[in-house]
Amino acid sequence: MIKTGLKKLDQSLDGGIKEGLITDVYGQNATGKTQLTFQICINAIKNEKNVLFQDTTGNFRPERLIEYMQNLASIAINAKIPIVVTNSIRTFDENEKENLEKSINLFSHIKIRLTKNQGSYFCEVISPFINNKFQFNITTNGLTDES
């Protein structure tokens, strides 16, 4: 298990990011997706654990994800390596749409949605067993949910 650096998120996930699962971190630009995944990677390294981080924002082609996601899912389960994927949200006709929703939903076990509203940041954890939302801050030292 890998701590995320956000106490409320770790509590929602029963301790942190679990080995063998695929976690989809998604949200609009500048909501803390990359910062959160870097914190997860740093915490993994500190505890001599492995993690795979796939950034699908920017110029990433969705068909590439479909091509190798099934293999990654098998590796995650067999090698007990957590996989964290970052994913953007795009706005079409005033509706928000997860960029790789159709591709990633087939394989992700946990979804973490990050949002920003009037200068405040929010995290929502979504899975078949969890639906929890809380506020967090982005500081020069990373993400924190402490005041």
SS (H, E, C) 11-35: HHCCCCECCCCEEEEEECCCCCHHH
| Mean pLDDT, rounded, of the chain | 85
- Fold held by 7-144: Rossmann fold (3.40.50)
Looking up tokens 């679990």 gives 18
CA atoms of 90 and 53, how far apart (whole Å): 21
Give 66 or 132, the one with higher predicted confidence: 132
* Domain regions of the chain by residue span: 7-144
Whether the pTM exceeds 0.75: the reply is yes
- pLDDT tens sequence across 75-129: 888 888 888 888 878 777 888 878 777 777 888 889 999 999 998 999 999 988 8
Percent of the chain with pLDDT over 90: 39
Integer CA distances (angstroms), 75 to 29, 52, 82, in order:
29, 10, 9
Query: Exposed e or buried b for every residue in 54-68, given b needs 16+ CB within 10 A?
Result: bebbeebeeeebeee
